[in-house]
Amino acid sequence: MLQLENPGYILRISRDEWLEQVFRLNKYYTGMIRDYKRGTPILLAKKAERGDSFVGYGVVDKVEMLWEMPPEEEDYSRGHGWKCGLTLRGLTKFPTPYPIKESCISSDPRRGAFLNGAKLTEDQVDAILEAAEEYQG
């Protein structure tokens, strides 16, 4: 049987309150439409003390477009320019953010906001998660 690649994505969080919201609701709202589906790995990134860093990860459990959301949630999302909500399972926050410059994608020319929505191969996701775990000490 043919094994299909399961790419992951980097989704960047720009504000501390949104970081808290993601982990409180297990949901990431985004205006970045990609090929999200159940089982897609999501690596969460944010600017930290040592520069852009991975702050956690999860796996997409459900993708909700605006028209599928309750009215209040839809209005909230529209107000921020978000187009969908990703419910994440297995959501894990790293105690110590793992600097992107120390990861296997350190040579990627994209930085800051340009990392938002970046596609990663399954091997890159695995390597980043393994290194982030080791980085925790």
Q: What is the pLDDT of residue 135?
A: 95
Q: What is the pLDDT of residue 19?
A: 96
Q: What does residue 104 show for φ and ψ, rounded to 5 degrees?
A: -70, -10
Q: What is the pLDDT of residue 1?
A: 45
Q: What is the pLDDT of residue 28?
A: 97
User: 3-class SS at 113?
Assistant: helix
Q: What is the pLDDT of residue 4?
A: 57
**10-residue stretch averages of pLDDT, the chain, 137 residues long:** 75 95 96 94 95 96 96 95 97 97 90 88 96 92
Q: Supply the Cα-derived Rg of the chain in whole angstroms.
A: 15
Structural domains in the chain? 8-99+115-135 (2.30.130.30)
Alpha carbons 108 and 111: distance in angstroms, whole number: 8
Look up residue 55 and give its two tokens: 């702050």
Check: CB of residue 57 under 8 Å from CB of residue 93. no
Check: CB of residue 71 under 8 Å from CB of residue 109. no
